[in-house]
Amino acid sequence: MSLKPSSWPSLPWIGIGFLVACLCITSLVLPFAFRGKYASPDETAVALVAERLASRQSPRVEESLAVAYPWLHPRSWVSQGTALVPVGFLGWPLVLSPWVALFGRSVLPWMAWVWFLSGLYPFYRLLRQRFSCHSAAVGVLIMAATPMVLLYANRALFPNPAILSAFLWSLWVLDLTKRQVRYSFLAGILMGVTAIIRPIELIWILPWWIWKLSELPRTKRYFLPFCLTALGVFILFFALNQSVYGHWWRVGYWIGDNLPLNTKMVLSDSPITIKRIFPFGIHPRAIWWNLQSFTQAFLWPFWLLLGTALASYLSTFKRNRVSYKQALSTPLLWISAWTVFSLLIVYGSGVYQDHVRPGAVTVGNSFLRYLLPLAPLIGVAVAYLFEAYRGRKEFAWLASLLVISLCGFGIYAVTLKDDEGVVATRTELIRYADIHEQALALFPKGSVIISDRSDKVFSSSFRAVSPRPSLEEIARLVHDSEAQVDVGIFARPFSQRERDDLRGLGLEVLEVGAFGRERLYRVLPR
């Protein structure tokens, strides 16, 4: 039996169903392994803030030692006055908090997973406006198979996947609003939620919204409900910011730790500078290094697809004797180009130290997370290519080979390619939970546990501190009679020289637990 385009009504859906099952299983590796621990301090902070909001507590965590010891906090938090506040934006925890209130903290990775992958449906509906059902389905499938989507479906507590899903929903609902004005209420809510999850992403989101809004009738009937519902979301977000940071417009990214024994300085803000818009500056060499390194490791098939789709699109106009000026006049093309450009300029300028090995190019690197908005563009490119060439001879074989190869590449990249894939991370999460349970048997809750990068292991029950402060600061805390806290250090085994340095500061360390390459020490005054 030969595979011809006429056989598409049955065979593609069987193959797509099988690939969807494979991708779905891959996207659920970490949620199924959930035992209360997360793979990064950012995810841990989102979960903690959502839990506090669900229990009607402020995300502002009172800490009596914050003034005397400004460094006494985990990553993704800063000390502000007599409290600790989260560094990230509060919108995503705010959205998650009602679900935590209803179903408990164990629902968090699952709710985040559902939220993220729900965005595939409006993306399919948007593709169906231009392409056949088969082409649209394959476009969605390849979007879901990109390493970024597969990894952050597993780690959907990051705000980046949440904002992408909310953005796709908002685009589709804006399209519905053109036909039925009642959808303008929902469009306003979705756009407001999208904006508060991570406002800095508006740099690439706003052009898409402006394009869709320009297609609506310019009447109060359309825009008044939209503006009122969006304003309601913003007011709630700004009120939360006011209660946590002291000002409605302030976020944790813009404040630093307390200065030692000086709380007045931390409550004043520096003026708005270009670093607030471009947090990593603009560094062409870093952009080139990130682009080259991650293209070679993860992105080359998808850049190739985007380039092929663009070349095919332009060649169509050439065959029809249409000028390139007319070919390039479509808003979709220019807004897509702006999305790619803005992401590379803003986030490509950073050098991310996510891995213990400096300069490591891994699937868990933050640069790939910031490139999540490229995934729908890749899906559009694939849908376009399938629509353009599906009538060609031998298309079914070539299309099947391409889809299977891309899905296999994505699954391999997020599972087995490096030590930040979901298989290795699953093992680590189970290990984190075991370490936490054993630490509870060795230290009372509220103890200070200091580590270089393991704050995510101890955050829920202890005062987790990362990175590790100087030995002099640790000694000051241990000898502080007013603090009255147990202090532990989680680290690689201390050398004799390190032990001598600690003794010179009047400290003694006792090994109380061994966990693979790390040790848990109790720090005592001599």
**Domain definitions of the chain by residue range:** 446-525
* Structure tokens, 114: 């559902």
Q: What share of the chain in percent tops pLDDT 70?
A: 90
The gap from C-alpha 364 to its chain's centroid, in whole angstroms, comes to 10
The predicted pLDDT at position 266 comes to: 43
| Contact (CB, 8 A) for 138 and 379 | no
pLDDT at residue 267 is higher than 50: no
Give 40's Cβ-side CA count (13 Å radius): 22
Summarised one tens digit per residue, pLDDT across range 288-332 is 998 999 999 899 999 999 999 988 888 877 666 666 666 666 888
pLDDT at residue 54 is higher than 90: yes
Flag the least confident range among 94-103, 133-142, 257-266: 257-266
263: helix, strand or coil: coil
The total of other beta-carbon atoms located within 10 Å of residue 452's CB is: 15
Q: What is the rounded CA–CA span in Å between residue 148 and residue 154? A: 10
Q: What is the rounded CA–CA span in Å between residue 94 and residue 99? A: 10
Q: What is the dihedral of CA 426, 429, 434, 435, to 10 degrees?
A: 140
Summarised one tens digit per residue, pLDDT across range 205-245 is 999 999 999 988 888 888 898 899 999 999 999 999 999 99
Q: What is the rounded CA–CA span in Å between residue 27 and residue 32? A: 10
Burial of 504 (0-12, 13-18, 19+ CB in 10 A): exposed
Direct distance between the N- and C-terminal alpha carbons of the chain, in angstroms, rounded to an integer? 82
Torsion angles phi and psi, residue 356, rounded to 5? -65, -25
Look at residues 42, 190, 13, 23 and name the one whose alpha carbon lies nearest to residue 119. 190
The predicted pLDDT at position 323 comes to: 61
* Structure tokens, 43: 């995810």
The predicted pLDDT at position 17 comes to: 82
User: Is the four-CA dihedral 212, 213, 218, 224 of positive or negative sign?
Assistant: positive
Torsion angles phi and psi, residue 259, rounded to 5? -80, 145
Amino acid at 214: S
> Bigger pLDDT: 204 or 401?
204
The gap from C-alpha 359 to its chain's centroid, in whole angstroms, comes to 20
Name residue, tokens 């996947």. 161
The model carries a pTM of: 0.91
